[in-house]
Structure 1
Amino acid sequence: MKTEELLNQLLEAALKAAQPEEQLARLKLEPVKGKTLVLGAGKASAAMAQALEKIWPDPLTGLVVTRYGYAVPCEHIEVIEAAHPIPDENSQLAAQRLLAMTKTLTADDRVLLLISGGGSSLLSLAADPLSFAEKQALNQALLHSGASISEINCVRRHLSAIKGGRLAAACQPAQVINLLISDVPGDNPLDIASGPGVPDPTRCSDALKILERYQIKIPDSLRRALEDGQLESIKPEAFAPGQIQTHLLAAPRQSLLAAAKVAEQQGISTHLLGDALEGESREVAKVMAGIIQSCRLHQQPFKTPCLLLSGGETTVTLKGKGSGGPNAEFMLALAIALKGQEGVYALAVDTDGVDGAEEIAGAWISPETLDKARQLNLNPEAYLDNNDAHYFFQQLDQAIITGPTLTNVNDFRALLLL
């Protein structure tokens, strides 16, 4: 089998493992006296709603919001689309409508929250005293700051009128069941779409420290509100025991295991380096290059041929004029560090099909990548300095474009050492 074909099969297996149908089919819930309301947000929320309608025995109503281009037809659950990664007016409208639908819930009712990655942007409602425009600008600044997703979502939870447990609080006294597809390192429900359906133990002071750490300017009114604790999120003691249940339907590790199975069927020794790797993309790439060099030269820590798989979420501190997609930047930095190392093939993608803000999932490299670039008079270091890896790989025809995958378990990296 050709190396490019094998890499494609690995990616296909990883994406298939992240689809919600199988996991929802295994879900066993006791019936309730009242109605079941479905609310949701995220890149996978429409696909989750469609799958839920197929297996749910009772009538369902509700509303989910997904990214533009990610809607799929549902019979009873309404689907609307909004913007990602920067929220737009539809993001605000979706949040308002979801909150409005909770007004008539009773203790006999149940709410199924279908939450997946991307929900932070798709379900966006600014808390006073923040305007929606100010929240959009802050979101942009956070995404370009180099902050981790956990740090970003801590801030988001305290600047929102719907996240940080606020949607779950609005559903009281109904029971809330979170059905989650994780796109975050560690699979913490707090960080998946900034936790609209789970309580949040972090404080306003934590959010303020993060903003200060990354030197993100905020309005004086917002600073005062954070300092005074006016924007505190919903704490665990606000809910009765058993009122909130949380089920993780899909996570990065499942995708890594699915890809590993494909490789092992081809007789390739496979090693999982972890599903929660974080850090600056170019720095993580240097670490991976060092591991690859050690394997090739010393057969340590792994003997070649082998496949190294990892997941998580790397970040880009945007300093150049490019769009800074973390997976493409990881690939470019890795290619530079490897210097055309023979026998090394790799890909890195965001499993939602969107690397950063671009409609590109990621990129792949081979030992010939740098030679191809030189033949086209492309300077890899200059593109890396400009955070413009997407355009670099597009010119080499080595960008990976999947289109909407209807799921999101974050980064998937495969390093094949022959």
Structure 2
Amino acid sequence: MKTKLIIFTMALMTGVLTSCVDTELCPEPADQHPHLASVSYGFDWSKTQDNPKNLPDSMYVVAYRVINQWKSSVMVNCLGPKNKPAQGKYINNVVVEPTVYPGQTKTDTIEYFKVKSGEYKFLCFNGSNEEIDYTSVDKFIYQKDVDMHDLYFNFKTYEKESPKLNRIIPKWTDYNNYTGYMQPAVRAVYYDTLTVRSLVANRTYHEVFTHPKRLTQRLTFEFDIQKDLSGGLFTVDSVFAEVSGIPFSVNLSNGYIDITKTSRMMFRAKLVVGANKDSLDNDNNKKVHCTAMIDVPTLISSEYDDVYQGPGIMQIMVCCSVKDPADPTNRPPKKFQGLINLYHTIQNAKLVTYTLDRQHVKKAKDYATLSIDADMVVNGASILKSNDENDGLDSWVPKGGVIIDL
């Protein structure tokens, strides 16, 4: 009888010692759980070089427990002081529902987030961005077989006729209809990671992302329009462009950019006229300098310098108004299009390095200027074809007839 009592007592003690190894087995109320830690987040943007600034207003933070794997995510504001807990809300895998006091709703922001205790790696990237596809992130959070090495950041893409696409080019004839579009003027994307650290139960931690890095490249396009006034006076009123060869999927663990699928983007160029950088052209001016800035994962060239379909092609629409010699008050508007293969321009910019499989690249720099050396010559009615013997330079090619708005 004494032997049986000892065995029963040992079994009971074993059950008590093991019952709280995993949080799901503990009987305590969730808000008093002994295996939870509290964590808040802050962000240090002092090392960010962007000028002008293009920072996100919120960041999506993933907490990844590497041993006894568990993952959760929150969305927090990111522009406040780095040492002050950023306000936000739970997104995925809420371990404890936040307390809702009278007059509050479940959408009210909080500063401290509950996570299971353990060894954690933290990752953050742009949040609250309608142009980001979070499908792969949700898959990473909820599927245990998806490792951080398989976590991709994806931009949404749209067909040309989609009502969700913010089209900025009017009456556009597409001469490179091979893929969909990213939205114009996509915001720069930043990400950061924190090395593995231990979160002990019943303690509070403030984790600061000290050096958010650019996931996207800031690309600046520059080119000149030379005005041929021999046939009459005219002004360049606006210039619109579209560039192809923009990848939209980036691996967050290693920075590899998938180039097996690319997209396009429309944008409007800024016009710089004269030494005083006046943005308005005049009839007698002979040159207009055009610049445009976009934030994208990177830009991929065509495999060849003499094709005008596929990646690495820029299409352009020049909008002019022509002086009517018979009636100076009448200035009929005209629009005409052209395109250029940016093979040499992209190659010279050295934007990326290729992986061995040639299906991925890593960006080689955060900022780059793509100067198109070949001048575009316009005469108020069309773009004039560049010299065929323009060795080593990309060449402008006119497309379509002139469009006159009535």
| TM score, norm. by length of structure 1 | 0.22
Which has the larger strand fraction? 2
Which has the larger helix fraction? 1
**Bigger relative contact order (CA 8 A; separation at least 6):** 1
